[in-house]
Amino acid sequence: MANQDTFNNPTKSTTPTGEQAAEKASGMVEEGKRKAAEMSARAKEQLNRAMETGKTKADQARVSAAGGLQRAASTVQDTATRLPGGERVQGAVRSVGTGMERTATYLREHDFNDMQSDVENVVRRHPGKSLITALAAGFLLGQAIRRSRH
């Protein structure tokens, strides 16, 4: 039909007009946007699944750590009564065991969001002590890593 129109009207071209090209380009842009949106949605879905998996594993590790700490605390408490050195040493060891038990309970009862909030509150209330603690922990961690490499 286009050839017949061209034959009857020699000024009419079979090549696309600017309007047709613009429509085609617009359609391609829309298709690109649609595909980009689909890819974005898939990526978000995969990221959400990965984050959920990570949270689940972190929670399992947290609960497992709490259980291990509780067992260690029980061992420390049991050992305290058999230690030589008198009541003073035994009391100090029992105090350590009690602290371990409280930490285990805290780990069991609080998720990572709660822990983050608690750490932020402590840092706000005690910035100097928090800085010294962070420096000491970093130093000890660095020493441990250095020793493990040798």
pLDDT in tens, 106-132: 999 999 889 999 999 999 999 999 999
- Helix axis angle for 112-125 and 127-149, nearest 10°, is 120
| Cα–chain center distance at 72 | 28
d(CA 21, CA 108): 64
Query: pLDDT tens, 54-111?
Result: 888 988 999 999 999 999 999 999 888 888 888 889 999 999 999 999 999 999 999 9
CB 79 within 8 A of CB 73: no
Residue 15 is given by DSSP the state S
d(CA 82, CA 93): 11
Residue 11 is predicted with a pLDDT of 53
d(CA 82, CA 72): 16
Residue 107 is predicted with a pLDDT of 93
Rounded mean pLDDT, 25-49: 90
CB 107 within 8 A of CB 73: no
> What type of residue sits at position 38?
E
CB-based burial label for 125 (10 Å; 0-12, 13-18, 19+):
exposed
